[in-house]
Amino acid sequence: MAQAVATTQESWRLTSGKEIDRSLVVINDLGGGSRYEVFRAWDRQLFCQVAVKVMRPNRVHEDRVMDGFEREIGIASRLQHPNLARLLRWSAAPPRPYMVLEYVSAQTVAAHLENIGEVSIPEVCLLGIRMLSALHYMHSNHVLHLDVKPDNVTMGDPPRLLDFSLAQAFSGPVRLRHTMGTAAYMPPEQFMHGVVGPESDLFGLGATLYEALTGMRPFPEGDPSATDKALIYPQLVEDPQPLHDTMDLPPMLERIVMSCLARDPARRPRTAIETAVGLQSVLESLRTEELYAWPKGLRVTLP
């Protein structure tokens, strides 16, 4: 989820040992965004550690926030995939509406970059395939994620795609009425109130893989106080620096990542599956058989 610094008035001030309700006791704070605080907690009903998204006190009475809460529950409750963090239960009861989610202890790509450094080429390929598997499943179930970024992708085995707070169900073209997402990882159509689709999620994944490989974001930092969209979102007019300028990597991997970052959605890969098959080909060219997503030669798509 997009990180934001909350003011004191916007926090429940729940420290270790405090109860969210009788069934949930806080272990520690995990951060949060403008709408939610997120805690690692002990669930007395499930008798295990969980992650809990708790609506901030100043947002509880906002209809738009509650509508988003209900939309997220509706979407997350029907998605079950090994590379998606699972929604376990929820409560809309005042004063603290919350969602109980599977606690994923593995660090995110963002944390890995901060604490360890860049991710190796074979690991990036396999991570990409796993995320594309999750996105293919979501898209096949008519759901867009719309916030794929290093903070929402975990490492580990299996890696997970986190946070459905911006996810949108779709049955056809979706035209956004307002900008939603994380500025550095949004495709142009997402902040220009254009039509978003599966290719919009591929842009976010491409930006995530680019950063995982290089430790750098593909586009310069924008100026959120500017009035010109091109200054707020440099990806509207600027192309990423070619990956081969900063590192030695297989040409096919560069083509896949850079094509995901195309400004024009029509120039991005057509599907998540097509992109995953390309990344598997990169792994096969590297002969890292222990990291293959599936055995070489196996038919992995529907006939």
What's the pLDDT score for residue 54? Answer: 98
Mean pLDDT of 147-160: 97
pLDDT at 146 over 90: yes
pLDDT at 254 over 80: yes
Within the chain, residue ranges assigned H as helices are 63-76, 109-115, 121-140, 188-191, 198-214, 229-232, 251-260, 272-286
Compute CA distances 250 → 110, 125, 247, 283, whole Å: 23, 11, 10, 10
Confidence band (pLDDT; 50, 70, 90) for 61? very high
Q: Is the pTM of this model over 0.85?
A: yes
pLDDT at 7 over 70: no
Q: The tokens of 40 are what?
A: 């690692």
Is residue 101 within 8 A of residue 88, CB to CB? The reply is yes
Short-list 272, 131, 253, CA closest to 197: 272
Beta bridge mates, 100: 52, 89
What's the pLDDT score for residue 33? Answer: 87
Confidence band (pLDDT; 50, 70, 90) for 4? very low
Residues of the chain with CATH 1.10.510.10: 109-291
Task: From the options 3.40.50.2000, 1.10.510.10, 1.10.1840.10, 3.40.50.300, give the CATH code of 109-291.
Answer: 1.10.510.10
The DSSP 8-state label assigned to residue 235 in this structure reads G
Q: Tell me the C-alpha distance between 290 and 283, whole Å.
A: 10
Confidence band (pLDDT; 50, 70, 90) for 177? confident
Share above pLDDT 90 across residues of the chain, in percent, rounded to a whole number: 93
pLDDT tens by residue, 270-301: 999 999 999 999 999 999 999 999 999 999 99
Confidence band (pLDDT; 50, 70, 90) for 91? very high
Confidence band (pLDDT; 50, 70, 90) for 237? very high
Mean pLDDT of 78-106: 97
pLDDT at 2 over 80: no
Beta bridge mates, 21: 24
Mean pLDDT of 194-201: 96
Confidence band (pLDDT; 50, 70, 90) for 178? confident
Look over the chain and give the mean of its residue pLDDT values, rounded to a whole number: 95
Short-list 201, 148, 191, 208, CA closest to 170: 201
pLDDT at 59 over 50: yes
Fold of the domain spanning 8-102: Phosphorylase Kinase; domain 1 (3.30.200)
Q: Tell me the C-alpha distance between 27 and 24, whole Å.
A: 9
- The residues, ordered by sequence, that sit 6+ positions from 120 with a Cβ below 8 Å of its Cβ are none
Share above pLDDT 70 across residues of the chain, in percent, rounded to a whole number: 97
Torsion of CA 78, 1, 184, 138, to 10 degrees: -10
pLDDT at 238 over 50: yes
Mean pLDDT of 129-158: 97
pLDDT tens by residue, 96-143: 999 999 999 999 999 999 999 999 999 999 999 999 999 999 999 999
Per this entry, what is the length of the chain? Answer: 303
Q: Is 189 helix (H, G, I), strand (E, B) or coil?
A: helix
Is residue 214 within 8 A of residue 247, CB to CB? The reply is yes
pLDDT at 214 over 90: yes
Compute CA distances 258 → 64, 132, 171, 210, 218, whole Å: 36, 16, 28, 8, 9
Confidence band (pLDDT; 50, 70, 90) for 3? very low
Lowest mean pLDDT among 4-18, 137-151, 179-193, 208-222: 4-18
Residues of the chain with CATH 3.30.200.20: 8-102
What's the pLDDT score for residue 83? Answer: 98
